[in-house]
Chain A
Amino acid sequence: MRTLSVESIDNLALGAAVLGTGGGGDPYLGRLMAKEAIREKGDVRLLDPDEVPDDALVIPSAMMGAPSVMLEKLPNGNEPQAAFQAVESYFGKKAFAVMPIEAGGINSCIPVYTAARLGLPLVDCDAMGRAFPEIQMTTLTIGGINASPMVCCDERGNKVLIEALSNSWAESISRAVTISMGLASMIGLYMLDGKALKRWSVRGTVSLAIEIGRRIADAGRGKLDPVESILELTKGYRLFVGKVIDVQRSLTTGFVRGTASFEGLEGHKGALFEVHFQNENLIGLRDREPCAMVPDLITVLDRETGRPITTEHLRYGQRVVIIGMPCSPIWRTEAGLCLVGPRYFKYDRDYVPLEKLAGRAGR
C-alpha cells in the first residue's frame, strides 16, 4: 500500500504543474492545505483503481472559481464534509474514496486535502490526465458519466446541489452558483462507481505527477538531466530548445488567451516556435508547422532546472525546453476530440497525434 505523506505533496504539486500544460495557476495554497490536513489527520492512502470494488462510490473533489479570490478568501475546512454528506445522502451510500479531477494548480492538492480531512483513501487517477478549464472536459463525460448530482459549498456553509441535464449545463450552472458564493467554491461532482472508474478514468496520474516532481527535485541536487528524465517517463518529445522572445496575452470572458514566441538555441538555432494558449498551452508550431496540438500535452520547462513555467510566468529572455507528451488514448477518440480537440478551441486544424507530428520533426 502506498501513502501520501507531507513530503510527497511538494513533488505532487511540482509534477502536476508539468501535466498542467501551463495552466492551473499557483499550487501554493493547495499544497499548504494538503500538508496541514495530513499533519493533523495522518497520511493519505493511495489506491490503484483496481483496488476499488466495482460497486464502491468514488467522489472527485476540486475547487472552482477565480484563483486570485481563492488566494484571498481561504476555505473554512468544513467544505469537504459538507460536500460529501450532500452526495452521500443523495445516493444513500457512503463514499469509498476521493479522486482528483485534473492535474495542475490548486486542484492537484485539493483532493489530498479532502481525503485527509475525511479519512478516505485517494485513487491514483484523474479525469483529464492534464488540466482543462471547463467541467465537461473530462474523460468521464466521454464515458457518459453524469457530472450531476454536483454539489458546490462555500466557507459559510452554503450548499447547492445541482441536477443538470448535461455536463455542459453543470458547467454553466455551477459557475453561476460559484459567482454568487463570492467567486470560489469547493465542488464534488461526477460521482461514479468502481466499475466506471476503471473504464473511464486516466490511470496513474497522481503517482506519475509525484514521480515527475521527484525527478525534477532530484535534478536540482545534481543527479540527472530533468528534461530527459521526464520525457522518458511520459514517452514525450523534446519539441524545441529556445528562449522566450515575446508573450502576448488578452483576457476575454475568463480565459487568458495569448501567444508565446521562442527563438531557437543550440540545435534549433535559426528556428522559431510559437505556443498558443487559452489558460493552458494548446498548440505548438515550429516555423509555423504544428508540432503538437491539444489534447496532447505541451509544457514549457526551464532549460536548466526542468521546472515547469506556467503561462502567466512566461517572460522575455527565459531559456526553456518545450516538450510534448501524448494524452490519454481516451481523448483521441472522435468523442474526445469533439470535446477538447483543436476545433473546440476555435483553431482551424484537424488533430494529428503528437507521435506523428513530433516524429516527423525528429525527437
Chain B
Amino acid sequence: MSFRLGIDVGGTNTDAVILDPGNHVIAKAKRPTTEDVSTGIHEAVDAVLTLSAIDPGEINHAMLGTTHCTNAIVERKGLARVGIIRLSAPAGLAVPPYLEWPDDILGHLGTEYRIVKGGYEYNGASLTPPDPREVEEALKSLKKQEVQALAISCVFSPVNAGQERMARDKAALVFGEDFPVSLSSEIGSLGILERENATILNAAIRRIADTAYRSFQSVLAGHGVRGDLYITQNDGTLMAVNYARRYPVFTIASGPTNSLRGAAFLSGLKEAIVVDVGGTTTDVGILRHGFPRESTAEVLIGGVRTNFRMPDLISIGLGGGSLVRWRDGSCSVGPDSVGYRISSEALVFGGKTLTATDVAVAAGVAAVGQADKVAALDGRMLEAGIARIRSMVEEVIDKMKTTSEDVPVVLVGGGSILLPHQLAGASRVVRPEHFDVANAIGAAISQVSGAVDGVYDVAGKGRDAVVSQVKEEARQEAIRAGAEETSIEIVELEEIPLAYMPSNAVRFRVKAVGNLASIRAPS
C-alpha cells in the first residue's frame, strides 16, 4: 500500500493525518504547536503513526503546510539582513526599493540597495547594457554592509532573466556559491515594485525556512518516513522540499488555502462558504468550483505590498481559546486568546481562564473536557456569549456572500465546535467528518503544478497554435513535477498582449495542475 501523510502547522495546533490510496482518513492527531515547530510536528506524527499502526516505510508522500514563514514576516522574527541589486538605471531612480515598508521590518532587513545600470524593454531589447564591473562593485559594497541574503531585480526580467542571472553569477564570486540569492524573475510577474518586494521577503526568510525544513525532514526520518517531502504553496499545489528552500515566500498563506481545499474535499461541495475556526482566529473564505476565490484587493504581507494571488479571506479574532469577558451585562469574546495553552488554561481543562470553549461547553453547544467545571457559570452570561460568537460569524458570512441567497456553510477547524447547527445566511450548515483536521487533509490532497511564462510571437504560427503549444509545455512541466497525465488541467491561462507592440509578441503565463501520480483524484 502507499499512504500519504498530511501535516498542518497552525498558530495553535499541529495536525497530522494519514490517508490511504483511496483518500480515506485512516488516522488523525492534533497536538499543540510548539515554539520550535519541530517538536509539535514530532508529537503529531508520532501520534498518527501509532494510531494508524502502518509501516512508516509505506508512506510515499509527506505534505507539510506551515505558517512558519508567514509568522516570521508578521512577527519580524529571524529575518535576514537583505541587500538589493536592482538593474534598472537610468530608469527607476524616482522610485527606490522599500518605499512605504513598515519601519519595524526595515529595522531587521536594513535598507541596503544599489540601483545599477541595466534592464530590458517590454520586448526583451536592452534598456541599458549592464556594466558587470559596476555590478561587482555594488555587490562588494553590500558585502561590506554584512548583508545575509541578496535580492536581485531587473526591469522586465519576467521577459528576459539574463541580467539577473549575470548578477547572480557575480554574487557567487563575491559572496561564495552557497550564499542565498533570490531572483525576482523566479518569484513574481510584471510590476517591478511588487515583484521586488516579494523577492526581498523571500530573501529575508530563506535562512529560517531552510532551518525549518531541515528539522522537518529529520523529524520524519526519525520516524522512518522515507517518502518524498512536499511543502504546500498558497495556490493549493505542492513544492518539493528542495525547491521550497529556495522559494519559501510561495508558502505564505498556504494555511487558509489548505483549509478551504480540505473543506471542499470533505464536504463534497464546490460552491460554499467555509468557516475555519482555530484556537485564536476564524478565517472565512469562499469556494468557487472547489478552489478558493482569489482576492482582487492589493495583497499586503506583514504590511508589504506584493502581487501574489491569495485566497479572498476575512479573519476575525475568534477561536476556541478566545478570552471571554463579562462586564455590566455585556459579553466580549476575543480577540486575545490563550492559544495553544487552551489544554491547560481553559476551565473545562482544569485551568483558570474563561474561554469561548468554556462558554460553549457550559451552554451545551460543545462537549469537551469536564463540563462540571463550568456548571456554575452565570446563565445570562452564557446566553450573551453564545449569541456574541454566533453573531460574529454570521456577520462575516454575510460579508463574504456574493448574493443575498442563502448558501451552504462548511464548518472546519477544531474551534468550530463553538458554533451552532444553524446560522443566519446559511442554506445548511455542514460539519463534515474529520472537520477538525481539514487543513492537514487539504495539504495531503494537494496537487502538483507546472508553469510556463514567456513571450511568444503569435504572428508566425497564429494565436491558436501558440496557445496549444504553451498549454502543452505547461502540461509537460506538471508531468515532470510528478503529475499523473490524465488528471492534468490547465487552471490558468493569462495572455498579456503588450499594447502597441510593433511585432506580435504576446506574453503567456500558463499553469497546469494535476494529481500526484499514484493518487486518485479528489472529488
Contact = CB atoms under 8 A, between A and B. Distances in A.
Interface string B89-114: 11111111001100000000000000
A317 B122 contact: no
21 contacts: A28-B305, A33-B94, A35-B100, A36-B99, A68-B190, A68-B496, A72-B192, A73-B122, A74-B92, A74-B155, A74-B192, A75-B92, A75-B93, A75-B94, A113-B94, A156-B128, A178-B500, A254-B499, A316-B402, A317-B402, A317-B403
A182 B90 CA distance: 14
Contact of A68 (B193, B296, B498): B498
Interface string A4-36: 000000000000000000000000110011011
B92 A76 contact: yes
B99 A32 contact: yes
| Interface hub of A36, A155, A156, A315 (most chain B Cβ within 10 A) | A155
A254 B296 CA distance: 23
Contact of B95 (A75, A175, A178, A254): A75
A313 interface: yes
B462 interface: no
B156 interface: yes
Contacts of A165: none
Interface in B150-204: 155-156, 190-193
B127 interface: yes
The main secondary structure of chain B at its interface with chain A is loop
Given A73-B88, A73-B92, 7 more contacts: A73-B121, A73-B156, A74-B193, A76-B89, A156-B91, A254-B499, A304-B399
A29 B95 CA distance: 9
A251 B92 contact: no
B93 A72 contact: no
Contacts of A66: 122, 498-500
Contact of B499 (A33, A68, A77, A182): A68
A69 interface: yes
A193 to B, nearest CB: 29
Contacts of A317: 402-403
A65 to B, nearest CB: 8
Interface string A262-306: 000100000000000000000000000000000000000000100
A71 interface: yes
Interface of A: 28-29, 32-33, 35-36, 66, 68-69, 71-77, 113, 155-157, 175, 178-179, 182-183, 243, 251, 254, 265, 304, 313, 315-319
B460 interface: no
A71 B497 contact: no
B455 to A, nearest CB: 13
Given A179-B500, A317-B403, A73 B91 contact: yes
Contact of A76 (B94, B121, B193): B94
Interface in B112-169: 119, 121-122, 127-128, 155-156
A76 B498 contact: no
A254 B500 contact: yes
Contacts of A315: 296
Closest 7 CB pairs of A and B: A317-B402, A77-B94, A155-B91, A66-B499, A74-B92, A75-B94, A182-B121
Contacts of A157: 90
B87 to A, nearest CB: 12
B329 interface: no
B404 interface: yes
A155 B117 CA distance: 12
Contacts of A75: 91-95
B496 A33 contact: no
Nearest to A318: B402
B95 A33 contact: yes
A313 B94 contact: no
Given A72-B155, A183-B499, A36 B94 contact: yes
Nearest to A36: B99
Q: Which of B91, B121, B496: most chain A Cβ within 10 A?
A: B91
Contacts of A74: 88, 91-92, 94-95, 155, 192-193
B177 to A, nearest CB: 31
A41 to B, nearest CB: 12
Nearest to A314: B296
A131 to B, nearest CB: 17
* Chain A contact residues, majority secondary structure: loop
A182 B93 CA distance: 17
B307 to A, nearest CB: 10
Nearest to A244: B402
Contacts of A182: 121-122, 127
B248 to A, nearest CB: 25
B512 to A, nearest CB: 24
Interface in B355-387: none
Contacts of B190: 68, 71-72
A319 B400 CA distance: 11
A131 B429 CA distance: 47
A35 B95 CA distance: 10
B142 to A, nearest CB: 21
A203 B94 CA distance: 30
A317 B402 CA distance: 5
Contacts of A35: 99-100
A75 to B, nearest CB: 4
Contacts of A68: 190-191, 496, 498-499
A36 B422 CA distance: 51
B199 to A, nearest CB: 14
B76 to A, nearest CB: 23
B155 A73 contact: yes
Contacts of B96: 36
B112 to A, nearest CB: 18
A76 B90 contact: yes
A124 B399 CA distance: 38
A265 B193 contact: no
A318 B122 CA distance: 33
B491 to A, nearest CB: 17
Contacts of B119: 73
Interface string B425-456: 00000000000000000000000000000000
A283 B255 CA distance: 43
Nearest to A254: B499
Contacts of A304: 399
Contacts of B155: 72-74
Contact of A72 (B156, B298, B399, B404): B156
Contact of B193 (A29, A77, A113, A251): A29
Contacts of A251: 497
Contact of A77 (B93, B100, B192, B402): B93
B296 A183 contact: no
B84 to A, nearest CB: 14
B502 A32 contact: no
A69 B298 CA distance: 19
A303 to B, nearest CB: 11
Contacts of B99: 32, 35-36
B122 A183 contact: yes
Contacts of B88: 73-74
A72 B90 contact: no
A251 B500 CA distance: 12
Interface string B292-319: 0000101000000100000000000000
A28 B100 CA distance: 11
Contacts of A155: 90-92
A209 B494 CA distance: 34
A69 B94 contact: no
A104 B191 CA distance: 19
A319 B405 CA distance: 13
Contacts of B502: 179
A253 B93 CA distance: 31
Nearest to B192: A72
A32 B94 CA distance: 10
B500 A156 contact: no
A156 B121 contact: no
A77 B93 CA distance: 6
